[in-house]
């Protein structure tokens, strides 16, 4: 598997120190929010070739490759999956922009979280909402497949302000209903903690491993992660048992102690991987 980290954990001016910390311990994956990664571009979702080349060259210089993208609807106004035709069209347009960016740079995973944009309004039944969402994501799946990427559906607990696909169970059922090769599952460990289901993760991997395309090592409210490497190790062991070979990515907000906190999280994930007997990268031995 590839060990990775999302750049939402640092400010743009801290990126080189973060890349260095990742490289030193053998991480090879970088997950990006485009607004932070292409921060020097006027439009981060449609960066010019020069600025994009600079950002990619910097990253590659530390042995990193793009493994995932989040914050897909950055800067898009008036979006809503269930808020009427215009809002849904705006969401689809924003997703097309993100999919096209992934295709341009070979990013294999797009995380669809966006809790506020998928809240079911009063008066709409769950059945109707599921039907609308299924229709939208089948079409998005076609575009994603053509771009060579996949969209993973993230469980967002109710505490994050949504009432649609709050649990991994619900996401698994939805992905099965969409039934598209480019629509997949992301395992977000912070959501599992918040839903009181973290202890079930190793067993759940038996059923979701075939549709799993990305893993977020996270804590509730995006606190520094992983909080306890000993709790994470069995999850990594189970992923390895089920031949998961994609990215396991730390997702956390910027810690109060900046780069030092980032380094601590990198070491914590590496420690969990070592405990689980997992190999990664080239420089960790």
pLDDT at 137 over 60: yes
CB contact at 8 A, 110 and 148: no
pLDDT at 285 over 50: no
Beta carbons within 10 angstroms of residue 212's beta carbon: 21
Taking residues 153-180, what's their average pLDDT?
Answer: 97
Taking residues 79-92, what's their average pLDDT?
Answer: 97
Q: Please state whether the predicted TM-score (pTM) of the whole model is above 0.85.
A: yes
Taking residues 173-187, what's their average pLDDT?
Answer: 98
Tokens of 50: 């020069």
Local confidence band at 67 (pLDDT 50, 70, 90 cut-offs): very high
Rounded Cα distance between 38 and 175, Å, is 30
Taking residues 173-185, what's their average pLDDT?
Answer: 98
Quick one: pLDDT at residue 284? 44
Q: Which residue, among 248, 118, 236, has the nearest Cα to 188 in the 3D structure? A: 248
DSSP letters for 139-188: HHHHHHHHHT-EEEEPP--GGGT--SS-SHHHHHHHHHHH--TTEEEEEE
Quick one: pLDDT at residue 167? 98
Quick one: pLDDT at residue 75? 86
Quick one: pLDDT at residue 184? 98
Q: In sequence order, which residues have a C-beta less than 8 Å from that of residue 222 and are 6 or more positions away?
A: 8, 190, 251, 252, 253
pLDDT at 9 over 50: yes
Taking residues 104-117, what's their average pLDDT?
Answer: 97
Sketch out the chain's domains with CATH numbers: 2-276 (3.20.20.150)
pLDDT at 282 over 60: no
Taking residues 60-77, what's their average pLDDT?
Answer: 96
């Amino acid at each position: 598997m590839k060990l990775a980290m999302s750049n939402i954990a640092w400010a743009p001016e801290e990126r080189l120190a973060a890349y260095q910390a990742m490289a030193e311990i053998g991480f090879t994956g970088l997950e990006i929010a485009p607004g932070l990664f292409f921060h020097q571009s006027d439009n981060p979702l449609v960066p010019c070739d020069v600025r994009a080349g600079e950002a990619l060259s910097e990253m590659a210089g530390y042995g990193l490759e793009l493994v995932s993208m989040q914050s897909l609807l950055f800067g898009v106004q008036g979006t809503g999956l269930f808020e009427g035709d215009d809002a849904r069209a705006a969401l689809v347009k924003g997703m097309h922009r993100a999919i096209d960016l992934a295709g341009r740079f070979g990013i294999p995973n797009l995380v669809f979280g966006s809790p506020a944009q998928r809240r079911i309004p009063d008066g709409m039944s769950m059945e109707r909402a599921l039907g609308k969402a299924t229709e939208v994501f089948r079409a998005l799946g076609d575009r994603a497949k053509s771009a060579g990427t996949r969209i993973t559906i993230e469980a967002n607990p109710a505490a994050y302000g949504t009432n649609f696909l709050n649990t991994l169970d619900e996401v698994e059922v939805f992905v099965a209903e969409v039934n598209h090769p480019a629509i997949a599952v992301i395992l977000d460990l912070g959501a599992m903690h918040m839903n009181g289901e973290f202890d079930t993760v190793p067993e759940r991997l038996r059923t979701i491993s075939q549709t799993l395309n990305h893993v977020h090592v996270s804590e509730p409210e995006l606190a520094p992660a992983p909080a306890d490497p000993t709790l994470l190790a069995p999850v990594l062991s189970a992923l390895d048992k089920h031949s998961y070979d994609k990215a396991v990515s730390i997702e956390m907000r910027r810690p109060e102690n900046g780069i030092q906190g980032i380094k601590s999280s990198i070491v914590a994930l590496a420690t969990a991987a070592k405990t689980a007997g997992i190999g990664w990268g080239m420089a960790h031995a």
